[in-house]
């Protein structure tokens, strides 16, 4: 993968000194692709995403984005450099209105802000309808769309998403994932964590499996989807077979 837009090399990181959650993680993400990270609970998937977003300090290794080392760069600077991050929970400001959430996300857009705001409303009509309501009042799916809209506001080249479909109805989950897929056609790169393994693998290009802070396996999504071992562990194939 020569044209990887994002690379993690030997990343060791954690929340407190001397207690690494990520023990050795390598990753390469191709431009304009969807890459999915799966793994058991507590594997460190969220931690990896947060580390890339600049929220968790590395104790060794590095993260390269567009050829530059971004391992020590503050999150707000990374956001300005076109790396957007959609957290798993609490990913919108409940006490602000939808409009205010979006205005905040568009703060650096200058003269383009008004146009982009209209684009976002056009893309997510429910948000336009409720623009003056407090974001805390939105339903789960709408919240997730607002979070994605905020991420898109800065016209990022790379979007990191942590379980964007968690807690959503199957329909809403599918919509969110398809929305992510659609973005790659505009050249945006997507790295996402998913619990909905089957759904995610169908739509992803590449997949990493993480456990206990280390890489376990990686390959093209199609290969993994048909891999019997992966199928057994992550897709419940055996249970289905036994039934």
Partner 1 sequence: MIGFISYAVFFSTVASILAIAVLGLNLQWGFTGLFNGGVVAFFGAGAYGTLILGGTPQADHLGGFGLIYPLALAGGAAVAGLLAWVVGILTLRLRQDYLAIATFGIAVTFENVMRNAEALSGGAKGFRGFERPLRDLFGDGFGYNLAFFCFVLALLVGVFLFLERLVRSPFGRLLRAIREDEDAARSLGKSPARVRLVSFVTGSVIIGLAGGLYATFYAFISPQDVLPTLTFQIWAMLIVGGAGNNRGAVFGAFLIWGGWTSSGWALSRFAPVEAQLYTGSIQYILIGSIIVTMLLWRPQGLLPERLVISQAGQPRKPRTTGSMT
Partner 2 sequence: MIQNLADGILVGSVLSLGAIGLTLVMHMLRFANFSHAELLSIGAYAALVFDAVFAAILPPLAAKIGPLSMTWALALALLAAIAITGASALLIDRLVFRRVRSKGSELSMVFASFGVAMIVRNVTGLLFGLGTQLYSRDIVFAVVVSRDPLLLIKPDQVFVLAAALLVMVALHLVLTRTTLGFALRAVAENPTLAQVNGVNLGRMIALVWVLGGGLAAIAGVFYGLTNQISPMIGRDLVLPVFAATIVGGIGSVYGAVLGGFIVGVAANVALAVLPSGYSPSVPFLIILAVLLVRPNGLFGEARA
Ligand X SMILES: Nc1ncnc2c1ncn2[C@@H]1O[C@H](COP(=O)(O)OP(=O)(O)O)[C@@H](O)[C@H]1O
Q: Using CB under 8 A as the criterion, which residues of the chain lie in contact with partner 1 when the complex forms?
A: 15-16, 19, 55
- Of 33, 47, 101, 165, the one binding ligand X (CB under 6 A) is 47
Q: Which of the ranges 4-12, 96-104, 182-190, 222-230 carries the binding residues for partner 2, by CB under 8 A?
A: 96-104
Q: Which of the ranges 39-47, 94-102, 118-126, 206-214 carries the binding residues for partner 2, by CB under 8 A?
A: 94-102
CB of 14 to partner 1, least distance (A): 11
Nearest to 167 by CA among 84, 93, 97, 91: 91
Q: Which of the ranges 37-45, 73-81, 169-177, 205-213 carries the binding residues for partner 2, by CB under 8 A?
A: 73-81
Dig out the tokens for 186 from the structure. 């505009």
Say whether residue 165 binds ligand X (CB under 6 A).
no
How far apart CA 169 and CA 126 sit, in angstroms, is 16
Say whether residue 45 binds ligand X (CB under 6 A).
yes
Task: Look up tokens 């409303």; give the residue.
Answer: 121
DSSP string, 156-192: -SEEEEESTTTTS-HHHHHHHHHHHHHHHTTT-EEEE
- Of 1, 68, 80, 229, the one binding partner 2 (CB under 8 A) is 80
- Listed in sequence order, the residues at least 6 apart from 19 whose beta carbon sits closer than 8 Å to its beta carbon are none
Residue numbers at the binding site for ligand X (CB under 6 A): 15, 21, 39, 41-47
């Amino acid at each position: 993968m020569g044209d990887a837009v994002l690379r993690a090399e030997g990343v060791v990181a954690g929340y407190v000194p001397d207690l690494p959650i990520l023990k050795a993680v390598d990753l390469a993400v191709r431009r304009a692709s969807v890459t999915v990270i799966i793994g058991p609970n507590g594997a460190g998937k969220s931690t990896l995403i947060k580390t890339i977003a600049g929220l968790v300090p590395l104790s060794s290794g590095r993260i390269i984005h567009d050829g530059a080392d971004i391992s020590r760069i503050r999150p707000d600077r990374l956001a300005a450099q076109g790396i957007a991050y959609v957290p798993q929970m609490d990913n919108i400001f409940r006490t602000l209105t939808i409009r205010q959430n979006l205005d905040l996300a568009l703060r650096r857009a200058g003269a383009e802000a008004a146009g982009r705001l209209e684009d976002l409303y056009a893309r997510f009509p429910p948000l336009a309808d409720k623009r003056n309501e407090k974001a805390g009042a939105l339903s789960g799916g709408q919240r997730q769309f607002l979070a994605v809209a905020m991420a898109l506001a800065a016209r990022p080249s790379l979007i990191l998403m942590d379980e964007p479909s968690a807690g959503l109805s199957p329909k809403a989950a599918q919509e969110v994932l398809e929305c992510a897929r659609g973005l790659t056609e505009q050249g945006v790169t997507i790295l996402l964590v998913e619990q909905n393994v089957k759904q995610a693998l169908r739509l992803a290009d590449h997949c990493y499996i993480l456990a206990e802070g280390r890489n376990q396996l990686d390959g093209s999504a199609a290969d993994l989807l048909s891999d019997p071992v992966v199928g057994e562990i992550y897709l419940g194939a055996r249970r289905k077979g036994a039934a």
